[in-house]
Amino acid sequence: MAVITVLGAGMMGSAFCVPLVDRGHDVRLVGTHLDHVIIESLKARGFHPTLKLDLPPSIQPFFAEELAEAARGADILALGVSSAGVRWATETIAPHARPGVPLVMITKGLELDEEGGRLVVLPDVVRRGLPEEVRASVFPAAVAGPCIAGELARRVPTSVVVTGRDEKTLAALADALRGPYYHVFPCADVIGAEVCAALKNAFAMGVALGAGLHEKNGGAPGSVAMHNWESAVFAEAIREMMRVIGLVGGDPMTATGLPGVGDLDVTMNGGRTGRFGRLLGLGLGVRESVARMEGATLECLEILDVMRRALSAYEARGELGPGELPLLRKLIAIALEDAPVEMPFDSFFGA
């Protein structure tokens, strides 16, 4: 069994530790500078205040200042932070990275290379931040696919992929991470998986708008609601994921598997992004909807901001037409510019 150090004690980083200790690994969970209350609670009584759950006592909690101790002798390093914290996490973990020691992240997102105007997947962003002597043998991998942290922490059967640019690393990580209820499949298409992992947050918000619109019109959840509306948005979302994957250089078919269809379904139904979309659909506006999320990380807003800038860059080079990706463009307008919540259905599906 391996020594695994996880940096980031939020809901997903902490939930990730549960199947690892159940597999028999020595798991060390290190909080960021924002996780002091969580680590304090875990050290005192083993209770995670955000997951609202007692974690297995074999998960060893460490404060951010104790990272050096927690990383000593680690066989695998993991980043469990949000996309907004990935550069901080890379700088923090870099001094403790060693040649040949795999690094895996559960962070979802994309960055735009402002100089070249091209989208970059986060495993490549992290690798660039590692010391040169480490970069030669470490190709950061990422976990993607449908996973609600609260369900994984409660041992609900979960299926994900681990993706990256080194085949041997993926095989080793899949073997180390998988367990009786945590099913991990290697995926060589790092671009496709990571584009899906990022965009699904934006598109899940879009599908969930339908629930809010239905409620706003006096409806209640049931078999007759806005499911026709939601299904069309879902289908267009997958189509647009495939277009962006191809644009960045991945395999569009990856969107039809766990990273795309699977993750979009779970995020719109059980994730915080789905709850945020419902609030927007109710007509509360962006500011009030954000306030009602009570500080929850909203990756959908971050990826929509990245994509707004990326669309301009790809259009300027003639690689993307101004009429393409109508759903994504509408979601940018709704979430970033407070545009009315309505869908341009007549422009969907290549019309």
Find out whether 12 is annotated in a ligand binding site.
Answer: yes
- Asked whether residue 218 falls in the same domain as residue 173, the answer is no
- pLDDT tens for residues 173-203? 999 999 999 999 999 999 999 999 999 999 9
Contacts of 220 (CB under 8 A, 6+ apart): none
Find out whether 149 is annotated in a ligand binding site.
Answer: yes
Crossing angle of the two packed helices 227-248 and 263-270, in degrees rounded to 10: 130
Find out whether 13 is annotated in a ligand binding site.
Answer: yes
The total number of structural domains that make up the chain: 2
**Does residue 325 have a pLDDT over 70?**
yes
**Measured over all CA atoms, what is the biggest interatomic distance in the chain, rounded to whole angstroms?**
61
Q: Please identify which of the residues 52, 200, 216, 330 carries the catalytic annotation.
A: 200
pLDDT of residue 123: 95
8 Å CB contact between 120 and 112: yes
pLDDT of residue 87: 92
User: Which of 188, 221, 253 is the endpoint of a domain?
Assistant: 188
- pLDDT tens for residues 71-103? 999 999 999 998 888 999 999 999 999 999 999
Average pLDDT of span 130-145? 94
Average pLDDT of span 230-243? 98
Q: Burial of 124 by CB count in 10 Å (0-12 exposed, 13-18 middle, 19+ buried)?
A: middle
pLDDT of residue 225: 86
pLDDT of residue 115: 84
pTM, two decimal places: 0.93
Q: What value does the mean pLDDT of the chain take?
A: 95
- Asked whether residue 178 falls in the same domain as residue 226, the answer is no
pLDDT of residue 351: 63
- Asked whether residue 111 falls in the same domain as residue 205, the answer is no
47-48 and 53-54 beta bridge pairing:
antiparallel
Q: What CATH number should be reported for the domain holding residue 93?
A: 3.40.50.720
Tell me which residue range forms the domain holding 310.
197-347
216 is catalytic: no
pLDDT band at 295 (very low <50, low <70, confident <90, very high): confident
Average pLDDT of span 29-52? 97
Find out whether 150 is annotated in a ligand binding site.
Answer: no
Find out whether 10 is annotated in a ligand binding site.
Answer: yes
pLDDT of residue 220: 87
- Asked whether residue 316 falls in the same domain as residue 337, the answer is yes
- Asked whether residue 245 falls in the same domain as residue 271, the answer is yes
User: Which of 143, 160, 188 is the endpoint of a domain?
Assistant: 188
